[in-house]
Chain A
Amino acid sequence: MRGYRLGRLLVTLLAVGGLTLVGVGIARLPPRPPQPDAAGLPHRAAAAPSLPPLPRAEPVEVRIPRIGVRAPLVSVAADAAGALEVPPLDRPGVAGWYRPGASPGELGNAVVVGHVDSPAGPAVFFDLGRLRPGDTVHIARADATVVRFAVDGVEAYPKDGFPTDLVYGPGGAVGLRLITCGGRFDQDRGEYVDNVVVFATRTA
């Protein structure tokens, strides 16, 4: 009888502990970032007014009114392994401008990268997947100009199938590419399996 009581106590403790951990686990599961439409959206530039390219100038801030982003920009390049650097994770509200490429407003594609989330929760580009064609992106530059872009499309790509040419490639237009993570979170690898890319063209 004593053994039975002990067993019942153990089972009760296990159940209480299990329920507690499940509750804590659910509460700690981070929100999943919004994704682009499954069918994908065209990334061809809409007809934009003919604007002369601007001279090179360092960008200092990115604003995306549709998703409430207003973030400072820092310069990034590539790490020793050749992968694109990202802003420091302890500053999840900051986005990074790819310095070896075009600056926003110059001829070519300017590239801006930002975290989708951090251990503290959603980061600067968490809602990037919610953008749709026609949404606007404003980049303020160190020369006091503000370059406006219109979104042409938003797509998700597996990281091992990243469209290097579409993102960094030379083009005859003044473009902008915003990059963050997306898709499924791979618990084993500790990372998202996709990159979300926003394609935009200068409008003003």
Chain B
Amino acid sequence: MKATKVLVPVAGGIALGALLLPGAALADTTVSPSTTPVGGTVVLTATTCSPSAGDAIFHVTGPDRDQNVRSTTVAAGGGLSAELFTAGFTLGTYTVAATCGDGTSDGSATFTVTPIGGAQAGGRDGSGGGTLVAGATLLATSLGGAVILARRRRHAAEAATL
């Protein structure tokens, strides 16, 4: 009887702790990197799934997707991994829930598919630079012409004095 009185609050505390710390329950599945430009590849890993129990299944859900991905590799740090290619994915956040080969859940994780590169957020009119270059070219040409004219005039003057 005493044992029951002690165990109930302890179990309640553990359950409350699990509710307050959802990250702890999510830690067994990882996605790396957690953010990828659309078209990039992320690696899904079920860290506590035993390869001897069979392939792990990663259930990927998100804005336009509900698909299963089967593990293909034994992860270097333990568990099972698969690569996921995000070409054609809609931008947004996706959830990956892993199930081990023996049917046990290995938790879940999220990753985000983002636009590629930066933003083309400028639209200035660059024609001022072109006009400047054209003007400089005309000025240089006129300067060259002036030099030629001056030489001709000098030669003509020299010839007249001979």
Q: Do A and B come from one complex?
A: yes
Cβ–Cβ contact B122 & A115, under 8 A: yes
A114 at the binding interface (Cβ < 8 Å): yes
Cβ–Cβ contact A114 & B138, under 8 A: no
A86 at the binding interface (Cβ < 8 Å): yes
The distance in angstroms between the C-alpha atoms of A78 and B91, with both chains bound, is 8
Cβ–Cβ contact B91 & A187, under 8 A: no
Q: Mark B1-26, 1 if CB is under 8 A from A, else 0.
A: 00000000000000000000000000
Q: How large is the interface on A (under 10, 10 to 19, 20 to 34, 35 or more residues)?
A: 35 or more
B125 at the binding interface (Cβ < 8 Å): yes
Cβ–Cβ contact A169 & B112, under 8 A: yes
Q: Which of B139, B145, B146 contacts A22 (CB 8 A)?
A: B139
Smallest beta-carbon distance B141→chain A, Å: 5
Cβ–Cβ contact B122 & A22, under 8 A: no
Cβ–Cβ contact B129 & A29, under 8 A: yes
Cβ–Cβ contact A100 & B90, under 8 A: yes
Q: Given that A14-B138, A15-B142, A22-B136 are known contacts, is A82 also in contact with B122, CB under 8 Å in the complex?
A: no
Residues of chain A having any CB pair with chain B under 8 Å: 4, 7-8, 10-15, 17-30, 77-78, 81-84, 86, 89, 92, 98, 100-101, 113-119, 123, 125, 157, 159-160, 162, 164-165, 167-170, 179-181, 185, 187, 190-192, 194-195
